[in-house]
Amino acid sequence: MPLLFRARTKARRRFFDLTSALRCRRTAGGRQVILAEEEKDPDNSGFETRQRVVVDFDLIRKMAGQNFRDLGGHPTECGRKVKRNRIYRSSHLAELPSQSPLTQLKLRTLVTLQSRIEVNHLGAPVPASRPDVRWEHIPMGDKWFSNTGFTRIGAQPGKEHLALVMHFRDDWRTFFRLLAEREVYPLLFHCSAGRDRTGVGAAMILSLLGVDRERIVADFLVSNETFPKMPLAPEQLDPVFEMIDQNGGIEGFMREMIGLKAREIEVIREDLLED
43, amino acid identity: D
Last residue of a domain, one of 60, 88, 107: 60
Give the pLDDT confidence score for residue 169 in this predicted structure. Answer: 97
Same-domain status, 168 and 77: yes
Full domain range(s) for residue 55: 5-60
Q: What digits encode the pLDDT tens for the residues 63-116?
A: 899 999 999 999 999 999 999 999 999 999 998 888 888 988 999 999 999 999
Same-domain status, 177 and 242: yes
Whole-angstrom distance, CA of residue 67 vs CA of residue 196: 11
The total number of structural domains in the chain stands at 2
Same-domain status, 35 and 93: no
Same-domain status, 36 and 92: no
Whole-angstrom distance, CA of residue 150 vs CA of residue 148: 7
- Mean predicted confidence (pLDDT) in 204-214: 98
Same-domain status, 47 and 140: no
Q: Which residues contact 232 (CB under 8 A, 6 or more apart)?
A: 195, 199, 220, 221, 223, 224
Q: How far is CA 8 from CA 11, 23, 30, 51, in A?
A: 8, 21, 28, 8
Give the pLDDT confidence score for residue 58 in this predicted structure. Answer: 80
Same-domain status, 33 and 108: no
* CA 79 distance to own-chain centroid: 28
Same-domain status, 109 and 236: yes
Last residue of a domain, one of 60, 78, 93: 60
Last residue of a domain, one of 44, 60, 76: 60
pLDDT band, residue 143 (cuts 50/70/90)? confident
For residue 182, give the CATH number of its domain: 3.90.190.10
Whole-angstrom distance, CA of residue 41 vs CA of residue 155: 9
With a pLDDT cut of 70, the percent of the chain lying above it is 76
- Mean predicted confidence (pLDDT) in 189-200: 96
pLDDT band, residue 46 (cuts 50/70/90)? very low
Same-domain status, 18 and 48: yes
Same-domain status, 112 and 38: no
Same-domain status, 222 and 181: yes
Count the residues in the chain.
275
Same-domain status, 19 and 110: no
Indicate the average pLDDT of the chain.
82
- Mean predicted confidence (pLDDT) in 126-138: 96
Same-domain status, 28 and 124: no
pLDDT band, residue 186 (cuts 50/70/90)? very high
pLDDT band, residue 127 (cuts 50/70/90)? very high
